[in-house]
Amino acid sequence: MYKIKRTIYGFKLIFGGYIQKQEIHDWINEIENELSSITNNFGIIVDMSAIKTPQPILSEVTVISQNLRKIIKTRGKHRLVIALNDKSVIDQLNKISKDYGFYERERYLNARKSFTWEKKAIDWVVNAKDPDIKQDDLQAAFV
């Protein structure tokens, strides 16, 4: 199951249940169509916290994030957040994004760990307030 919602900052994509390959294909077509009219700055928040799989979902998340990168590459400035419930997948995706140069525009948040993940996501896509910088780290930088 997936939903695509237009928001004031861009789009919120929600994935839940068990994701089938055909659903990912349908989603790619639909999001390409939605983004075809966007030419200015925008943000995308992807909520994958309700996905149900017996194994970590790294492959599904990778397919979705790769397709998002490809689709939005030529459409204005953007920031992307993907919220998940699996810390090991988040750690792997953070490493990949840093190794391949995506980290400048992407963040991965642990929806299970933080009740405020959605506020952090909006702060990132709208205001570039980095959710990976803890407030203590920020204050220490100015001392």
Mean pLDDT computed over 113-139: 85
Q: Above 90 in pLDDT, residue 3?
A: yes
Instruction: Compute the mean pLDDT over every residue in the chain, rounded to the nearest whole number.
Output: 83
What is the value of pTM for the model shown? 0.82
Query: In which domain, by residue range, is 112 found?
Result: 2-141
Q: Above 60 in pLDDT, residue 81?
A: yes
**Number of domains, the chain:** 1
DSSP code for 90: H
User: How many residues does the structure list for the chain?
Assistant: 143
| pLDDT tens-digit series, residues 34-79 | 888 777 788 999 998 888 765 545 677 777 777 777 777 767 678 9
* CA trace torsion 49, 52, 53, 59 (10° rounding): -40
- Where does the pLDDT of residue 143 fall: very low under 50, low under 70, confident under 90, or very high at 90 and above? very low
The CATH number of residue 74's host domain is 3.30.750.24
- Provide the pLDDT for residue 53: 67
